Chain A
């Protein structure tokens, strides 16, 4: 494409008061021979936009640099079609609102940003959306036929798409169909489960194809082009799907590990699952002698929230015990239920059911169990009553119900770890042991993905294949595969339905975006994708290993085989590749390299240091914007370079920048670790690792390691941004100017 560049500087929003815009325009036409360079006092107004449109039509401008507000706003106003290259320069938040008025340094900053933009568009091509050779499928595969899976299939059908439902049991319904009653919205009382009606709705729906007694043998391809091999009742079938919802549910924590609570020792100590099944079968009786029950004690958090068992809360067992207490009272109004709890966790509106359980006269005792024992054929429980501040003993119990938690029915790539019992010999340095496959953590395959990075969804530390649960619910670390229901996190029926609906919607979004070559979250709408210049590939496998989404497979020789529909466009592969053969049409190592070269580096005696701040576009960039909106100030010597993800940074940028006399480089990215906020999961962590190796480069150049720093910045950290910058500027001042200036 022949680029015909037009630069448009807005002087509104205070920009014109802070900057002398005419010299900037002159500089651009001199140095970059840009013929069209205009100012306008209100560029985002109709007249301003018209000005640009006229030049597009009259002068054939097709590459437009807009120096105005942040690219995070007015993107719709400054949208001139996919056939134009648009580059936004943030004169408002990053210059006018955060720098000194009509200052020499402010002016230099603005000029640098224009130069960087010119350098950037020099290396930008128009991206063309990816189109797979195969035809795209718009059907959704749902794995798991419990409440979440059935809801996902029904919602998919309701939205006009076809669903393929794979259930391992001969019958649909999952645990919902095994329950006697349910507690769900509006949480005032117990209600019918509705399982049979739901199963019928699924079975009767012409848009839902159901496989029972079935398992997924293999999934290959990617979003839009998944090929799914299913084995059902001994027969094989192949289906095509555009996206996948995994709703494989949960299994109860293995109560055999709860001998200290009397399980396995006394017949009348049962789990909440056994209690439910007994209630559903007709009558709640004492398993030991089949006699009626009068006094029942529920032990909450049985093995849950216990570092040696299930370290987390299953969020539904409190509600379940109250429901089962209701069964007991319905059966015998004179019966007494004791609920021994750590905390009652009836989240959200389900608090109403807690009120009901209280009104019914159930006895809630806050404390911890000391002993479960038997005397005279009845059970007793000794406990520490925290509210009474005493030890108590409750006798004459007919039944003790252990409220055990939920374990995801997943196959975690890394075996979860729990706190080792004090007598354990296998404990590691942190006092943790790996859970054994039989210890209640369930290990089962569901998807069998033919992905280089493993057959199942990567999970969080306890086996839940979630991504970041607040920022991106239902997202997993495999594009186009969404998790819903208790596989994502423990939850009750009402929440599982919401979850499944959400996941189905995400799956539809994915199918539609993929079919027009667009990326999904968090770069929704992006049509660029990484291209590999394979002739120079050395089969080092870094890209295939580091891609956070498993988008790159490998052939036998170790050559990367990218699957663009699985790609989220983070650029991590681009940063990882030592040969620099991976690039996007509008984002590449060379492009950022040219931007860095465009930054003017004053002579040492001018005492104007230069610092490059690489900011992650997802969190750090908005944080800087917000600091600007709050009119906070920071050093005029820093130049921000937005990157898709810190995972995309190439070490060569560090070397190039320092060799040119840039005094320091700061990297602002998302938090990583267990509670990561990185939108691309591993990007900021990988960047951190990569940067830890930068010292070699610095040593080679005999430069101080303080010149390069990584810092975690969340989107809410806007107030801290100026301080982070000043602190780094102080460091740079103390290490002194880069000796390579002027070389």
Chain B
């Protein structure tokens, strides 16, 4: 059966998703898709996410892997000839999904939460504790198992001075950073919950 175009989902996105309205300007050139390092993992590249929104395919978009996979590399945003903040839209869609309960707090969504919390607490990432915390979300036993699996990488990181044995300390000026993070959250950008 031929699908129908339904402008109502596009309107929902324009009104509720961070930078959602900017995707009106997308001209489907595909530069974002060509630039995204994760395009092979994504079910729909960013360009197609925007087509789907335009066509009104709410389910496909909100359940897509793509919006959860974005690693914030910024390549799309930097390259988009129409100046669309593609990454902001991708995250915006994911947040909107989480808020709406469509996207469960699992996987990248959960990782994002832990990441935010840690940044909020100490102002930086502790390469030891972040994966541990994230793994433990799966439960104690699987969590420990996953962490042990990652041990060889940890050792390599240690040998290359990419990880310290001692716990990371809070950065100077953590208070100022928290103010900024609070402001960002207020603006709807990010936030752990």
Contacts and interface: CB of A to CB of B under 8 A. Distances in A.
Q: Do A and B bind each other?
A: yes
Interface residues of B, number: 18
Contacts of A391: 2-3
A395 B52 CA distance: 18
A429 interface: no
Interface string B1-39: 011110100100000000000001111100000000000
Interface string A382-396: 100101101111110
Given A387-B48, A388-B55, A394 B4 contact: yes
B68 interface: no
Contacts of B48: 387-388
Majority secondary structure of chain A interface residues (helix, strand, loop or mixed): strand
B24 A361 contact: yes
B88 to A, nearest CB: 17
A363 B2 contact: no
Contact of B4 (A364, A366, A392): A392
A338 B51 contact: no
B54 interface: yes
Interface residues of A, number: 22
Interface string A351-363: 0001100110101
Contact of B25 (A338, A359, A387, A393): A359
Given A338-B5, A388-B3, A393-B2, A358 B25 contact: yes
Given A336-B7, A363-B7, A365-B5, A387 B51 contact: yes
B179 to A, nearest CB: 34
Contacts of B26: 358
A344 interface: yes
B95 to A, nearest CB: 23
A541 to B, nearest CB: 57
B2 A355 contact: no
A363 B3 contact: no
Contact of B55 (A336, A382, A392): A392
Given A336-B7, A363-B54, A382 B24 contact: no
Contacts of B5: 338, 363, 365, 392, 394
B3 A395 contact: no
A395 B27 contact: no
A393 B54 contact: no
Contacts of A354: 27
A262 to B, nearest CB: 17
A392 B2 contact: yes
B4 A344 contact: no
Interface in A618-676: none
A344 B27 CA distance: 9
A200 to B, nearest CB: 40
25 contacts: A336-B7, A338-B5, A355-B25, A358-B24, A358-B26, A358-B27, A363-B7, A363-B10, A364-B27, A364-B54, A365-B54, A366-B28, A382-B2, A387-B48, A387-B51, A388-B48, A388-B51, A388-B55, A390-B2, A391-B2, A391-B3, A392-B3, A393-B2, A393-B4, A395-B4
Interface of A: 336, 338, 344, 354-355, 358-359, 361, 363-366, 382, 385, 387-388, 390-395
Given A336-B7, A354-B27, 19 more contacts: A355-B25, A358-B24, A358-B25, A358-B26, A359-B24, A359-B25, A361-B24, A363-B10, A363-B54, A364-B27, A365-B54, A366-B28, A385-B55, A387-B47, A388-B52, A388-B55, A393-B3, A393-B4, A394-B4
The 9 closest A-B pairs by CB, nearest first: A393-B2, A391-B2, A387-B51, A358-B24, A392-B3, A358-B25, A394-B5, A390-B3, A387-B28
